[in-house]
Each structure stands twice: as structure tokens, then as C-alpha cells.
Amino acid sequence: MTRTTFAIGGDLEVRRLGFGAMHLPTEPEEARAAAVAVARRAVELGVTLIDTAHMYGGGGANEELLAEALHPYPDGLLITTKVGIARSAGSGEWERDGRPEVLRDQVEQALRRLRVERIELLQLHRIDPDTPLADQLGTLAELRAEGKVGRIGLSEVTVDELAEARKLVDVASVQNRYNLLDREHEPVLDACTAAGIAFLPWRTVAWGDAGARAEVAAVAAELDATPTQVALAWLLAHSPAVLPIPGTAHLGHLEENVAAAGIELTPAQRARLDGLGDTANGGQA
């Protein structure tokens, strides 16, 4: 049977099927109220891992939404956030920015917005090529030493970047684009699995494209499930280090996603799905 929990960093146990908060709208008021209801329902359904970031909602608005919905947080709930992307003063566009002062400021903002004294898992949203990696990770390590960060993760990294980062800090998690039909980062997942590092795939269901594949539809029919649930069940079965974080702003889709944790693929079904991977490219999370 597929293991349902994973200990991030070896000691922070969460249920493997989490929730990505990126798609939760923060305005207008009616949409915000619906988003609050979705976040609360996720926790009611047993989700203990929720992913957000400084840039979601525009400079911390998504973090504030989660705090509004869920604070004071129930025991065992992990809200992980990401730093390292900031609006350019010149263009106004979101760009990689791993300068120590930017990372430190975004962490301080996250602590205030999430209403916590420590971020148990903080991920570097993207490596900034214009700032030495040692400076970026060194800043996060300093924040950890100060007690403001518990564990450090990365996002959208290669195998070589992961290896280089691990020379500088203990890496607890990696968040890369990955799903049933898009396995460009399979080598990164393999490295994480071997090292016991949590792998948090985003774009977990290929924007619904999985349902267009005859093999996925066939397996879904056999299991009396949806193609989305099959795609999530495959992720959970593929590696014990995978912690999917499907996101939605709709209660029905949320309940469909969470129910995927209870679906068990047979070895034959897994083998059929294993042959579907490709390296289609995606966007940003």
C-alpha cells in the first residue's frame, strides 16, 4: 500500500497529498471569501501541507489570505512559502532576486503575514544567476540559525544545482514542475528519492491534458475515478518522496483531488501509465 505520510527533513511529518494555494484569488471580496472557504475545507479534509509564495497574489497577498483563513493554525499543519522573486524597480515585472537583503526582507514579511515566529519550510523560489549561490543559501542558513526558518528547500533546480546546494546547506525539499505526462525532471526526482529529500511537484495534472490520453481515461474507468485522480494517484505511487500539491479555487475540484490519496493503482495499471511520459515544457509556479 502507498505510504500516506512523509517526514520532511527527516522530522516534519505531513500527509503526502498537499494543496497549492497559488490559484486562490485574494480579490474581489466575494472571490476572496470563496478562497478562504477552500483553504479551510482543505484542512478539514486532512491536508497538512499547504504551499504558497511571496509572489502569489502579488507580494504576499496569498500568504495573508492563508493566515486569514487558517490562523491560529491547527497542530500539524505546515504552510511552506517561497522567496527569491521580486518586482523589478525598473520594469515592474517579477524577476529572480536572490540578494541577501531581498531574501531577508521577504522572510520577515512572510513571518508577519503568516503570523508565525518561524517558517518551518522555506524554499528558494528560483536560483538567481546574478547572485552567488553561497550568498543566497548562506542568507537562508543565517535565518535558520536565528530561528526564523526551520528547513531550507529549493525550486526548479537541476541535478547539478541540487548537488551544489547540498554542499552549502541541508536541503529538505525540491519543488519542480513534474507530472504524469511531463517528466523532464525525473533525474532530480531520482536524486531526491535517493537522498530522502521531499519532492513537491507543481503542475501535477498537466493542466488537465492527462484526461485526453486514452490510457489515462481507460485506467480511470477501471477504477471508477477521474483522470485527474489517476494522475495524482500515479504521482503518489511513483516515488515515496513525491508530495503533490495540486491547486484549485473550487471546492469540488479540491475534494476530487484529496480523494485521489485513497486510490490504489495495480502494478499493471502503473506499468501502463509509466509509458506515457514526455518532456513538455510548462510555465512558472
Q: Cβ–Cβ contacts within 10 Å for residue 265, how many?
A: 21
Catalytic residue among 6, 19, 56, 178: 56
Q: Cβ–Cβ contacts within 10 Å for residue 204, how many?
A: 28
DSSP strand pairing (78-83 vs 49-51)? parallel
d(CA 247, CA 253): 9
* Residue 73 annotated as catalytic: no
Paired strand residues for 202: 177
Q: Is 173 helix (H, G, I), strand (E, B) or coil?
A: strand
For 260, what's the count of Cα atoms within 13 Å in the CB-facing half-sphere? 30
d(CA 184, CA 177): 8
Paired strand residues for 175: 155
Q: Cβ–Cβ contacts within 10 Å for residue 153, how many?
A: 26
d(CA 158, CA 165): 10
C-alpha cell at 267: 502494478
217 within 8 A of 228, measured Cβ to Cβ: no
Please list the active-site residues.
56
